[in-house]
Amino acid sequence: MSGTLSTRGRAALLAAFLAAWVAGSVLGAGEHETAGAQPLFQIEPAHAEFVPALTGDQPIYILVLGSDARPGEEITGQRADSIHILAINPAKGKATIAGFPRDSWVNIPGFGTNKINAAMTLGGPDLVVKTVEELTGLTMDYWALTWFDGFRSMIDQIDGLVVDVPFALSDDSAKAYFEPGVQRLDGKSALAFARDRHDLPAGDLGRSENQGLLMVSALTQFNKEFDSDPSRLLWWLGSFMRNSRSSLPMDELMSLAFTGTEINPKKVVNIVMPGGSAMVNGLSVVNLDQTQLQAISADLADDGLLKKGNIPPSPNAPLLPAG
């Protein structure tokens, strides 16, 4: 990557790092006591032939992926079970998080129809980018890749993550037991929150929304902690560096961290692409609502933000308090 990033461009990239950091929490069926040698996340340009213009006057699109790789497995060769578009409007300090259910039944370029999470197994992050771009008509600027191992320890390194849990959760499979309200989650609890789906009315759609909530919570906490004590920046940056892979130099990472406070967490819209359950050849899949998918995608193409009429209902709506 060449050239000098604008202040707002650096803020946008830090938001991508925060999103990727949180997305790593949802992956894997088992738990591991220590982080492996592989990085927790990596961010790269989505297209080698061009470098996005981070001038602040154009939206920036990052495809945030979570691999379900286990220790010793190649991260890019496993399924992408967490898939979110992070669309950032640097000029307005706003963003949109749009999640895709992992069982979405879609066309994977060159391979035919399959669950969207199979795209990374078939062709790595580049093929997931192509798949999402074909679905939405959007051009991704970056992809950010995460995996499971090490998430709990990184949460603990920053003394936990403050989350406003919107409703009670009880999922024996994920070991997720929560009462609603603001609480500081340690790494183990944050992982359980992110993996919970069996007690949600829309299953993985609701889980995807909760993953987005953790991304917003991370950005909120970063801003609050930096405002009250700028030295906390070092805790966050240290956690990033111990668990990341990036071609960006240290001074640029520091600049990203300092400018990340320009993204207003209260102006981040968190949605999941709507769809309905179906069976195809004995497989349980999600058929995306094509009308809503196209409307949301066209709206995001304009400025990275959604008009009120294009924001779909929350898949967790039946669990949310009235009013």
> Beta partners for 45?
142
Contact by Cβ (8 Å): 289, 274:
yes
Residue 95 half-sphere exposure toward CB, CA atoms < 13 A:
36
**167 residue type, one letter:** F
Whole-number pLDDT of residue 52: 65
Dist. CA 14–CA 43, nearest whole Å: 11
Dist. CA 185–CA 182, nearest whole Å: 10
Question: Nearest to residue 187, comparing CAs of 213, 207, 159?
Answer: 159
Whole-number pLDDT of residue 265: 93
Distant-in-sequence, close-in-space partners of 265: CB < 8 Å, separation ≥ 6: 216, 219, 220, 223
Q: Which helix (H) or strand (E) holds 176?
A: strand 176-178
Whole-number pLDDT of residue 184: 96
Say which DSSP state 206 is in.
H
- Give the pTM: 0.85
Whole-number pLDDT of residue 147: 76
Cα 127 off chain centre by: 18
Question: Nearest to residue 134, comparing CAs of 105, 109, 151, 98?
Answer: 109
Query: What are the φ and ψ backbone dihedral angles of 223, each rounded to 5 degrees?
Result: -65, -45
Whole-number pLDDT of residue 27: 42
Per-residue pLDDT of the chain (323 residues; tens, 9 = 90+): 444 445 555 555 555 555 555 555 444 333 333 344 566 677 788 887 776 666 667 888 989 998 877 777 787 888 988 899 999 888 888 999 999 999 999 999 999 999 999 999 999 999 999 999 999 999 998 888 877 665 676 777 778 899 999 999 999 999 999 999 999 999 889 888 988 999 999 999 999 999 899 889 988 988 888 788 877 767 666 766 777 777 655 655 565 555 456 789 999 999 999 999 999 999 999 999 999 999 999 999 999 999 999 999 999 999 998 76
Dist. CA 182–CA 214, nearest whole Å: 12
Dist. CA 305–CA 119, nearest whole Å: 26
286: left (phi over 0), alpha (psi -120 to 50) or beta: beta
User: Could you identify the residue written with the tokens 């070991």?
Assistant: 175
Whole-number pLDDT of residue 231: 75
**80 residue type, one letter:** A
Dist. CA 11–CA 14, nearest whole Å: 5
Residue 73 half-sphere exposure toward CB, CA atoms < 13 A:
15
Contact by Cβ (8 Å): 18, 219:
yes
CA quadruple 162, 166, 168, 173: dihedral positive or negative?
Answer: negative
Give the CA radius of gyration of the chain.
18
Q: Which two tokens stand for residue 184?
A: 């500081």
Question: Nearest to residue 69, comparing CAs of 126, 131, 17, 145?
Answer: 145
